Amino acid sequence: MSKLLRFLVFVPLLMLAGSANASAALTSRDLADLKRVSDYLNSISSMQAGFVQVGPNGELDQGVLYARKPGRLRFEYAPPSPYLIVSDGQTIAVANSQLRTVDRYPLLENPLSVILKEGIDLAKDANVVAVDHQSGTLRVTARQDSGPLKGQVTLIFADPAIELRQWIITDAQGLQTMIALKDMKTQVQLDPSKFLLQDVDKFHRKQD
């Protein structure tokens, strides 16, 4: 799995639906905070934001992301990054203009499924293991201890005015990738063509 896709794969840890309740270690305050976060996420139908991605070895990428429920997503990486990522709600396509490749993956969950799913209830997510308050932020951590998605993800929100700011993924080898959002706008009108997989092929032709 490529370094680029590491952050695409591990964010779904928060959204793996479980029949069990959240960890018994969570307090009543934690559960109240999870309800606030869930209400915030459920209020978002679409969004646009700049992003900065920092890889395990300090690799820095940036660009703009677009997202719309249910399951539509687009990561436009700024040059010199060769990547474009598009999800149409069923498939994720990853284009690399430098290698002239397009890889497609079944959409188990997409990288921002935490805001793209309907009816989010983090208090009932069995993978949520911690809720922490740090310097004006609220951090929600979920962990998967087995299987191909083994690892941990921490979503970081501004607090008390809840707003998603960044997430940090720690994979099974302990490597971390951080994605920070900036200038986020929600409930925006987005051109449906941004979420067409055919645009990945257009992206390649533009590089000729």
Measure the CA angle with vertex 60, ends 58 and 65; round to 5°: 135
Tokens linked to 5: 């896709």
Q: If we measure between CA atoms, which residue out of 1, 36, 13, 8 comes closest to residue 129? A: 13
User: What was the pLDDT predicted at 80?
Assistant: 92
Residue 32 domain boundaries: 3-206
d(CA 112, CA 65): 10
* Averaged pLDDT, 58-69: 92
Q: What is the pLDDT of residue 20?
A: 42
- pLDDT-based confidence at 39, cuts 50/70/90? very high
Task: Give the tokens for residue 197.
Answer: 């997989």
Closest by alpha carbon to 110, among 5, 1, 2? 5
**Tens of pLDDT along 77-113?**
999 999 898 888 888 888 888 888 888 876 654 445 5
- Total number of domains constituting the chain: 1
Residue 175 pLDDT grade (very low, low, confident, very high; cuts 50, 70, 90): confident
Q: What is the band of 14 on the pLDDT scale with cuts at 50, 70, 90?
A: very low
Per-residue pLDDT tens digits for 103-152: 887 665 444 555 567 788 888 877 788 999 998 999 998 877 766 556 77
Nearest C-alpha neighbor of 4 from the set 111, 106, 91, 151? 111
Domain of 150: which CATH number? Answer: 2.50.20.10
Percent of the chain with pLDDT over 70: 76
Stretch 44-58: mean pLDDT: 92
Going by C-beta distance under 8 Å and a sequence separation of 6 or more, which residues neighbour residue 44? 69, 115, 186, 187
- Mean pLDDT over the full length of the chain: 80
pLDDT top residue among 18 and 95: 95
**Coil, strand or helix at 123:** helix
